[in-house]
């Protein structure tokens, strides 16, 4: 993977951004680093504009190179000034010790991110449980994948985003995408759809917006946000009525169908049309194509999942896929399209409130014993599960809540729902420490800011959208004195008296991760850096050195105790907020091609800023006309939680009753200042994708 002569060297590594984990060759040496796309199985020589821009940030003038501390300790109104590592870490460690002595162990918390490598996510979870012995840890993947994960665990006994390789998409005769827009979020993945389309495959897109993915579809179904569950139940109703259920598969490989059949009986096509707005003819066309295809795939993503009924919504689409006999067959199945670069691995190795490495449950005595043995600690000393991400943030500074918080690779001041409430809670902390590459909106609020190495400056592994474990390889050294997060955690643990448990070397940490995951649902014990190099990544589970890895899951049995998938009856419930006289429209949020997540990085990339410099709220021409709003006018969106301003993008790609706002910006254009923190009862996923909104023009172009 590393090659070159003299002072210049080219290294195969992966894009820092999304879960496709496109391969790229980074050349570094005595000039600024450059990159070209690699012919890796995920991207086959393609990259999107975000990937192309990624080396721009390595030498960015705003890059943090030294720790920052408040000039007056304890006064967050005083300026952040440069400090030595000794001073910055000394303040953090003192705050941890002071807080735990006064309020108990759980008063110190950790908040991680889906861009951390597997090794870093693993180490962060271990740091919380062993060095801090706190239950208070969760990560931003709770805002991303948790509903799909909850549904997959319930239905299949195992959660791996796509239980099949990306190449299966090219083999499918029909693909239904629900709330998923890969044409804008991971464009190189469209190669797989294009190959299928070229040989006659048909794609159906379910999305309130006519996205670039929907434009090329056989049919675009445009439901009201928050009604995807009713649509899935309606499609299953039609499939049953038309005799399209794969009875043999259902009998042999599943349980619970009769209960679901009884439940969807009430989802008559005309009733579903009334709930969703999707015409009966569109419902029929979609399900008939899906059921009659030899190979068919249903993919859900955040549009379907970021709701207070997100887990049940994913389950409804799984029910449909199971009834048609899809999961476990080549070129077929249900999957979810992960968002963050290591959203998958991030939730497998212990930075989630309820999990231990290997996707083990923190509540399982056998799992606690296994992992404690690897860590060299007493299982009784491991904490119990803590609060989920939003609940952790919402309790900051309260009795029983976290008082000192360490944040790695997450910008919750922009990415959390009801963001102004979260910002206020961050202000209630006794102490906030943030590790990041740039002074993010969250870092701006901190007592201590710790600079961190960037993607091309570190080694580790990432687990992509397909469950393929890939190598992030170091292409150049970080700036002098800037550690990666593994080294940071090892140093902190040392200062906290737990140093013997922590090592800063990624491959050594990965070896430990392998042992900790052995025998668990996400078993990495047969995966090594060498194998990843030789095999262009290895799919988990991979329990032995000789095991080939598992690109396609569930071919013979599901991961449930009896090997059968579980149907589960689920019912449509109204969104937590419905339009009313004060807030007459529906707000939904999402991404644009040239920005990524909270924008900490992409808003600083010049080439991306030229494409998407300002946040634009999408409004239908009918709505714009009614409200006297013209193209590029500034509009104010108001919800029960706050206000935010955007330039208007008047477009008929969005429903007339829906407004779309991108969530990549903070401050006065923070879409998440508007969103609703109503939580899914199973996954604790906030309802990012739907709330009631008022719209008003505030000034001209």
Residue 349 CA to residue 502 CA, distance in Å, equals 15
Q: Which residues pair with 459 in a beta bridge?
A: none
Radius of gyration of the chain (CA): 24
The overall longest dimension of the chain from CA atoms, in Å, is 72
| Residue with smaller CB distance to ligand SF4, 125 or 188 | 188
| Residue with smaller CB distance to ligand SF4, 47 or 692 | 47
| Packing angle, helices 310-323 and 257-264, rounded to 10 | 110
Determine the straight-line distance between the first and last CA of the chain, rounded to whole angstroms. Answer: 51
Instruction: Provide the minimum distance between the beta carbon of 334 and ligand SF4 in the complex, in angstroms, as a whole number.
Output: 22
Q: Provide the token pair at 180.
A: 């998923």
Instruction: Provide the minimum distance between the beta carbon of 465 and ligand SF4 in the complex, in angstroms, as a whole number.
Output: 9
Instruction: Provide the minimum distance between the beta carbon of 50 and ligand SF4 in the complex, in angstroms, as a whole number.
Output: 4
Distances, alpha carbon 487 to alpha carbons 90, 178, 451, 614, 655, in Å: 16, 40, 12, 36, 49
| Residue with smaller CB distance to ligand SF4, 115 or 550 | 115
Residue 648 CA to residue 157 CA, distance in Å, equals 45
Instruction: Provide the minimum distance between the beta carbon of 533 and ligand SF4 in the complex, in angstroms, as a whole number.
Output: 19
| Residue with smaller CB distance to ligand SF4, 23 or 226 | 23
Residue 472 CA to residue 60 CA, distance in Å, equals 21
| Residue with smaller CB distance to ligand SF4, 22 or 374 | 22
| Residue with smaller CB distance to ligand SF4, 388 or 464 | 464
Instruction: Provide the minimum distance between the beta carbon of 522 and ligand SF4 in the complex, in angstroms, as a whole number.
Output: 21
Binding residues vs ligand SF4 (CB under 6 A): 15, 17-18, 20-22, 43, 47-48, 50-51, 186-188
Residue 158 CA to residue 604 CA, distance in Å, equals 38
Neighbours of 458 (CB within 10 A): 23
| Residue with smaller CB distance to ligand SF4, 47 or 456 | 47
Instruction: Provide the minimum distance between the beta carbon of 492 and ligand SF4 in the complex, in angstroms, as a whole number.
Output: 30
SS (H, E, C) 605-665: CHHHHHHCCCCEEEECHHHHHHHCCCCCCEEEEECCCCEEEEEEEECCCECCCEEEEECCC
| Residue with smaller CB distance to ligand SF4, 188 or 327 | 188
Q: What angle do CA 591, 597, 448 make, to 5 degrees?
A: 155
Backbone angles phi, psi at 448, to 5 degrees: -135, 135
| Residue with smaller CB distance to ligand SF4, 211 or 576 | 211
Instruction: Provide the minimum distance between the beta carbon of 610 and ligand SF4 in the complex, in angstroms, as a whole number.
Output: 17
CB-based contacts of 252, cutoff 8 Å, min separation 6: none
Instruction: Provide the minimum distance between the beta carbon of 470 and ligand SF4 in the complex, in angstroms, as a whole number.
Output: 11
| Residue with smaller CB distance to ligand SF4, 19 or 227 | 19
Neighbours of 444 (CB within 10 A): 16
| Residue with smaller CB distance to ligand SF4, 45 or 630 | 45
SS (H, E, C) 360-400: EECCCHHHHHHHHHHHCCCHHHCCCCCCCHHHHHHCCCCCC
Instruction: Provide the minimum distance between the beta carbon of 653 and ligand SF4 in the complex, in angstroms, as a whole number.
Output: 21
Q: How many CA atoms lie within 13 A of 672 on its CB side?
A: 31
| Residue with smaller CB distance to ligand SF4, 329 or 664 | 664
| Residue with smaller CB distance to ligand SF4, 306 or 338 | 338
Instruction: Provide the minimum distance between the beta carbon of 20 and ligand SF4 in the complex, in angstroms, as a whole number.
Output: 4
Please identify which residue in the block is written with the tokens 């448990």.
501
| Residue with smaller CB distance to ligand SF4, 18 or 434 | 18
Q: Provide the token pair at 436.
A: 């990041």
Distances, alpha carbon 605 to alpha carbons 17, 408, 687, in Å: 13, 21, 30
Instruction: Provide the minimum distance between the beta carbon of 597 and ligand SF4 in the complex, in angstroms, as a whole number.
Output: 10
Instruction: Provide the minimum distance between the beta carbon of 22 and ligand SF4 in the complex, in angstroms, as a whole number.
Output: 3
Instruction: Provide the minimum distance between the beta carbon of 575 and ligand SF4 in the complex, in angstroms, as a whole number.
Output: 30
| Residue with smaller CB distance to ligand SF4, 338 or 528 | 338
Instruction: Provide the minimum distance between the beta carbon of 55 and ligand SF4 in the complex, in angstroms, as a whole number.
Output: 12
Instruction: Provide the minimum distance between the beta carbon of 71 and ligand SF4 in the complex, in angstroms, as a whole number.
Output: 38
Residue 136 CA to residue 395 CA, distance in Å, equals 11
| Residue with smaller CB distance to ligand SF4, 311 or 415 | 415
Q: What is the DSSP letter of 71?
A: S
Beta pairing, strands 538-539 & 448-451: unpaired
At 121, which helix (H) or strand (E)? helix 118-126
Instruction: Provide the minimum distance between the beta carbon of 59 and ligand SF4 in the complex, in angstroms, as a whole number.
Output: 19
Q: Where are the beta strands (DSSP E) in 44-131?
A: 68-70, 80-82, 108-112
Q: Which residues pair with 538 in a beta bridge?
A: 469
Exposure of 694 by Cβ count < 10 A (0-12 exposed, 13-18 middle, 19+ buried)? buried
Candidates 474, 471, 473, 455; CA nearest to 463 is 471
Q: Which residues pair with 699 in a beta bridge?
A: 634
CB-based contacts of 525, cutoff 8 Å, min separation 6: 514, 515, 517, 518, 519, 542, 543, 544
The closest residue (CB) to ligand SF4 is 51
């Amino acid at each position: 993977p590393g090659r070159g002569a003299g002072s210049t060297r080219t290294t195969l590594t992966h894009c820092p951004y999304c879960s496709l984990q496109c391969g790229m060759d980074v050349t570094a040496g005595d000039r600024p680093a450059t990159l070209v796309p690699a012919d890796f199985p995920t991207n086959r020589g393609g990259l999107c504009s975000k990937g192309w821009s990624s080396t721009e940030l390595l030498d960015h003038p705003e890059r943090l190179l030294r720790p920052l501390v408040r000039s007056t300790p304890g006064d967050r109104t005083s300026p952040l000034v440069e400090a030595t590592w000794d001073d910055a870490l000394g303040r953090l460690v003192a705050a941890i010790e002071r807080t735990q002595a006064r309020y108990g162990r759980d008063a110190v918390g950790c908040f991680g991110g889906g861009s951390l490598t597997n090794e870093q996510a693993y180490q962060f979870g271990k740091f919380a449980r062993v060095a801090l012995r706190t239950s208070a840890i969760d990560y931003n993947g709770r805002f991303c994948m948790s509903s799909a994960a909850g549904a997959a665990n319930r239905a299949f006994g195992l959660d791996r985003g796509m239980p099949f390789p990306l190449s299966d998409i090219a083999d499918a005769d029909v693909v239904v995408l629900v709330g998923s827009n890969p044409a804008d979020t991971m464009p190189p993945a469209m190669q797989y759809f294009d190959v299928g389309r070229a040989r006659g495959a048909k794609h159906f897109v379910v999305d309130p917006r006519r996205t670039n993915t929907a434009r090329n579809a056989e049919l675009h179904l445009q439901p009201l946000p928050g009604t995807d569950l009713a649509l899935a139940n309606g499609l299953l109703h039609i499939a049953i009525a038309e005799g399209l259920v794969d009875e043999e598969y259902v009998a042999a490989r599943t349980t619970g169908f009769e209960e679901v059949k009884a439940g969807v009986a009430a989802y008559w096509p005309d009733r579903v049309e009334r709930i969703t707005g999707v015409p009966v003819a569109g419902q029929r066309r979609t399900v008939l194509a899906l059921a009659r295809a030899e190979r068919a795939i249903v993919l859900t993503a955040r549009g379907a999942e970021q709701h207070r009924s997100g887990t049940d919504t994913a389950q409804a689409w799984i029910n449909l896929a199971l009834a048609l006999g899809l999961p476990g067959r080549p070129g077929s199945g249900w999957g979810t399209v992960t968002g963050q670069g290591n959203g998958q691995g991030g939730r497998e190795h212990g930075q989630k409130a309820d999990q231990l490495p290997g996707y083990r449950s923190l509540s399982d005595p056998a799992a606690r014993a296994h992992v404690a043995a690897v860590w060299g600690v007493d299982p009784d000393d491991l904490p119990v599960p803590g609060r989920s991400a939003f609940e952790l943030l919402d309790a900051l500074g309260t009795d029983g809540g976290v008082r000192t918080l360490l944040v790695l690779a997450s910008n919750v001041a922009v990415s959390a729902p009801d963001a102004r409430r979260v910002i206020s809670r961050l202000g209630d902390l006794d102490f906030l420490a943030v590790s990041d590459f740039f002074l993010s909106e969250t870092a701006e609020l901190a007592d201590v800011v710790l600079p961190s190495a960037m993607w091309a400056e570190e080694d580790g592994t990432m687990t992509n959208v397909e469950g393929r474990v890939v190598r992030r390889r170091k292409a150049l050294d970080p700036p002098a004195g800037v550690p990666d997060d593994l080294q940071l955690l090892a140093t902190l643990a040392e200062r906290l008296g737990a140093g013997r448990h922590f090592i800063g070397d990624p491959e050594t940490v990965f070896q430990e991760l392998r042992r900790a995951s052995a025998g668990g649902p996400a078993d990495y014990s047969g995966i090594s850096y060498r194998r990843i190099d030789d095999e262009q990544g290895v799919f988990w589970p991979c329990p032995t050195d000789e095991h080939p890895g598992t690109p396609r899951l569930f071919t013979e049995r599901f991961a449930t105790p009896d090997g059968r998938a579980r149907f589960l009856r689920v019912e449509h419930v109204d969104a937590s907020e419905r339009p009313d006289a004060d807030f007459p429209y529906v707000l939904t949020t999402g991404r644009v091609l040239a920005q990524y997540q909270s924008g900490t990085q992409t808003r600083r990339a010049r080439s991306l800023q030229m494409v998407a410099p300002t946040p634009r709220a999408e409004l239908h021409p009918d709505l714009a006309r009614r409200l006297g709003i013209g193209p590029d006018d500034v509009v104010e969106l108001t919800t029960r939680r706050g206000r935010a301003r955007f330039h208007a993008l008047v477009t008929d790609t969005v429903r007339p009753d829906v407004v779309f706002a991108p969530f990549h910006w903070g401050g006065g254009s923070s879409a998440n200042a508007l969103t609703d923190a109503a939580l899914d009862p199973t996954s604790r996923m906030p309802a990012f994708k739907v709330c009631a909104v008022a719209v008003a023009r505030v000034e001209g172009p």
